Structure 1
């Protein structure tokens, strides 16, 4: 057998041995960490492992109205397209005083 093939076989054996040793060490470390978590009563939040929720962000609270139509009592918060009762008019007249 050539030296090259012998070296490849040795590399393969050493890699398998290294993986077995790594797995044994990982199991020991995990057991130690679990024991310490129980001992100190740690939570995922204490460890910075809080679950991040994915999906839509929570809905924002509605903005309180800034303007009110004195005739109909309709209100508008000043965001988006202005309603017909305030469009093109001086908005100061419709401000809600707080």
Structure 2
């Protein structure tokens, strides 16, 4: 015999209530164990959660990325090795958008090979 929608929804509601009761029971056990550990070790809120000026969640640094209190930094991107120059000190790696001086030199009749750094 096929179940009706009403029966299925009723079962879902019953299972959700059962799940909430189990979760509440598990949480109470976890909280009790945490409180016991806090009392046993004499932990303070600052030791557990940091100071009032602590960083928000998700900004922790791992031991392998942090250095003795040094601020976290992004790795610097290298500019690359220059491939072209104009003789006046301007250079270009050959990657990305062509600089104006390079386009102007090409328009003036020079070739990219003429501007290569040798």
Smaller-chain TM-score bracket: 0.3 to 0.5
- The structure with higher relative contact order (CA 8 Å, sep 6+) is 1
Larger Rg: 1
Q: TM-score, length-normalised on structure 2?
A: 0.40
Q: TM-score, length-normalised on structure 1?
A: 0.48
